[in-house]
Chain A
Amino acid sequence: MKNIPISAMIGLFFTGIYFLMAIFAPWIAPYGMAEIVGDVWEPSSSEFLLGTDSIGRDLLSRMIYGGQTTIFIATAATILSFTLGSIMGFFAAVSGGWVDQVLSRFVDLIMSIPSLIFALVVLSVMPTTVPILIILMGLLDSTRVYRLARAVAVDITVMDYVEAARLRGEKIGWIIFRETLPNALSPLVAEMGLRFIFAVLFVSTLSFLGLGVQPPQADWGGIVKENKEGINYGIQAALYPAYAIATLCISINLVADWILNRTTSLKGGRG
């Protein structure tokens, strides 16, 4: 763990905390997720660290459970978009020809409509359940992963060492897993961080618009929606998710930056 810059350390630390909170939410949260325990919008006290929400639930507990939902959906969508996008991207790059053309043009088409608009169009006829949200976000975002994976793979497959492996008679498996993938991994992992951030922002936005996670289940975007009226009375309840999302996303950004820099430095220079 040497040579990790301080910014990446901070990023790793906060990312770790958030994920641990998400995993152990039921043990950490002082109250139940939908349990009404106090008055409406009580200020913070030793009993309710962040106060209570618009119908008297403990806000800290809502935040912890909300984090669990948001992080779970974002993680699942990222995994889906990543698996699908990178497999298709590598496949297109290695196959070339019409396979590549068809896939790339289709991705161009999907990307010609803004993701949010496309999601709204689909959600107008689909029920808004968690699995559907995950699939929808994963599919829409896989187009971006596809583009990156394809570009990276195309860059690498023109390298002489890949040609040398082909001339040696190596099978496609060796070429993908031993020659291409190890060199493509770092930009992809960094991109994964960015896709995760995007997924967090996206699901929060949908929930805020009332088209994402449905109440009483808590999630960060939904907490804003539930408590937004409070803002007019100077109650900060709706702002806590903003702080949470910002710290999580910045942390992941810092980690992704570090991974990317580490890759570029591997290529150049001796020692």
Chain B
Amino acid sequence: MHPILKLIAQRLALGLLLLFAASILIFVGTSILPGDVAQSILGQSATPEALANMRRELGLNEPAVTRYFTWLGGVLQGDLGTALTNGRDIAESLGGRLKNTLFLAFWAAAISVPLAIFLGLLAVRYKDRWPDKLISAVTLTTISIPEFMIGYVLIYWVAIKWRLFPSVAIINDSMTLGAKLNAIAIPVMVLTLVVLAHMMRMTRAAILNVMQSAYIETAELKGLGMLKIIRKHAFPNAIAPIVNVVMLNLAYLVVGVVVVEVVFAYPGMGQYLVDHVSKRDVPVVQACGLIFAAVYIGLNLVADIVSILANPRLRHPK
């Protein structure tokens, strides 16, 4: 087998292992900590009998290990359990919301990724001159404000003062794509601003790192033009670090989505999660937590694999 395939297989196995460990961690986080789910649901005034009934119903009398494997077995078959608060099937409630969340994240990524790479290139091109300094000043500011505050600042100006886009992002399946995009315009802006800063800074660093290599000087001393140098010598080596940057930031975007959905009352997974955390609906929290963790681990895995694939030393072994 080609060593690179072996390496990738190893990474995939490692990713699965990590996901498995993460599921344990999430389960432990909600089960073994001092909080008692039954007490939480029924409140402080619950009678001992009611508590005991509730515990039996939830299977809390079983040992934790048994409960974990029952839960995991269900998850593997697509059964995420039922919500405590309304008795609905979690997988069913999640389906549409997951779709909405991915829709929002997709458009945020579609705008922020090219923009970040473009701005990163621009900052490198004008390194240490005013465009570079302006870009880094703006990104410093956006890094220093939490997502939800960027959200409200934008609502205040874009939606209320200038009346360009709606301040609440409610979408449903019957809307046209245009209407949907109009609805999510401000949330997409917020998410873009949030990830843009990190992504652009890291892209800038990655490109600078490549441009300072000795082989770029060699190319310059061959008399090649700047564009040709970038296309033929810088790009093939910069692609891996840039993909890495993009993947790490998409993982970051996933977290940003949670808060932004709450701000804009967007019917996605993040809002669903936050809602059920306050209601102490443990099965829902577990399910959402696991899905978020899986996406996060998956994106990091992709970044890893791309780095391996792009490394000429691994691709063409001695």
The reply, when asked whether chain A contacts chain B directly with Cβ atoms under 8 A, is yes
Which positions in A face B, CB cutoff 8 Å? 108-110, 112-118, 120-127, 197, 201, 204-205, 208-211, 221, 224, 228, 231-232, 234, 236, 238-239, 241-242, 245-246, 249-250, 253
Contact A121 B152 (CB under 8 A): no
* CB pair A253 B274 closer than 8 Å: no
Interface residue from B140, B147, B161, B255 paired with A117 (Cβ < 8 Å): B255
Q: Does B18 contact A (CB under 8 A)?
A: yes
11 A/B residue pairs, CB under 8 Å, sorted by A: A116-B259, A117-B293, A118-B25, A121-B285, A125-B40, A209-B262, A210-B274, A211-B274, A232-B160, A236-B156, A242-B152
A101 to B18, CA, bound (A): 15
Q: Which residues of A contact B296 (CB under 8 A)?
A: 112-114, 117
Known contacts A224-B152, A234-B160, A253-B140, A116 near B258 by CB under 8 Å: yes
Nearest A residue to B146 by beta-carbon distance?
A201
Q: Do residues A231 and B259 form an inter-chain contact, with CB atoms below 8 A?
A: no
Q: Is there contact, CB below 8 Å, between B25 and A246? A: no
With a cutoff of 8 Å between Cβ atoms, the chain A residues found around residue B293 in the complex are: 112-114, 117
Q: B276 — which chain A residues lie within 8 A by C-beta?
A: 124
Interface size on B, residues (CB 8 A): 56
Q: How far is the CB of B66 from chain A (nearest CB, A)?
A: 19
Please tell me if the beta carbons of B259 and A205 are within 8 angstroms of each other in the complex: yes
Please tell me if the beta carbons of A250 and B141 are within 8 angstroms of each other in the complex.
yes
B35-A127 in contact (CB<8A): yes
Q: Once the chains are docked, how many angstroms separate the CA of A113 from the CA of B276?
A: 19
Q: Choose among A121, A228, A246 the residue that contacts B289 (Cβ–Cβ < 8 A).
A: A121
Contact B146 A208 (CB under 8 A): yes
Q: How far is the CA of A127 from the CA of B34 in the complex (A)?
A: 10
- Which of these, B19, B263, B285, contacts A124 with CB under 8 Å? B285
Q: Which residues of A sit under 8 angstroms from B277, Cβ to Cβ?
A: 120-121, 123-124, 209, 211
Chain A residues whose C-beta falls within 8 Å of the C-beta of B167 in the assembled complex = 231-232
- Bound form: Cα–Cα A245–B150 in Å: 11
Task: Please give me the residue from chain A that is nearest to B160 by CB atom.
Answer: A234
Verify A246–B145 contact, CB threshold 8 A. yes
Most buried by B among A108, A123, A126, A208: A208
- Output the least CB separation between A236 and chain B (Å): 7
- Separation of A115 and B25 alpha carbons in the complex (Å): 13
With contact pairs A122-B33, A125-B30, A125-B33 given, residues A209 and B259 touching in the complex (Cβ less than 8 Å) = yes
Contacts of B251 in A (CB 8 A): 114
Other A-B contacts than A108-B18, A113-B296, A209-B262, 10 sampled, CB-CB below 8 A, are A112-B19, A112-B293, A113-B25, A117-B255, A117-B289, A117-B296, A125-B30, A204-B149, A205-B147, A211-B274
Q: Let me know if A228 and B152 touch, CB within 8 A.
A: yes
**Chain B residues with CB under 8 A of A241:** 149
Interface: B153 (CB within 8 A): yes
Q: Min CB distance, A235 to chain B, in Å?
A: 9
Query: Within B13-29, which residues are at the interface with A (CB < 8 Å)?
Result: 18-19, 21-22, 25-26, 29
A201 CA to B142 CA, complexed, in Å: 12
Chain B residues in 8 Å Cβ range of A245: 144-146, 149
List the B side residues contacting A236 at CB < 8 Å. 156
Chain A contacts of B153 at CB under 8 A?
239, 242
Is B26 touching A208 in the complex (CB atoms < 8 A)?
no
The smallest beta-carbon distance between B22 and chain A, in angstroms, is 5
With a cutoff of 8 Å between Cβ atoms, the chain B residues found around residue A232 in the complex are: 160, 167
The answer on a CB contact under 8 Å between A239 and B156 is: yes
Query: Which A residue sits closest to B161, measured CB to CB?
Result: A234
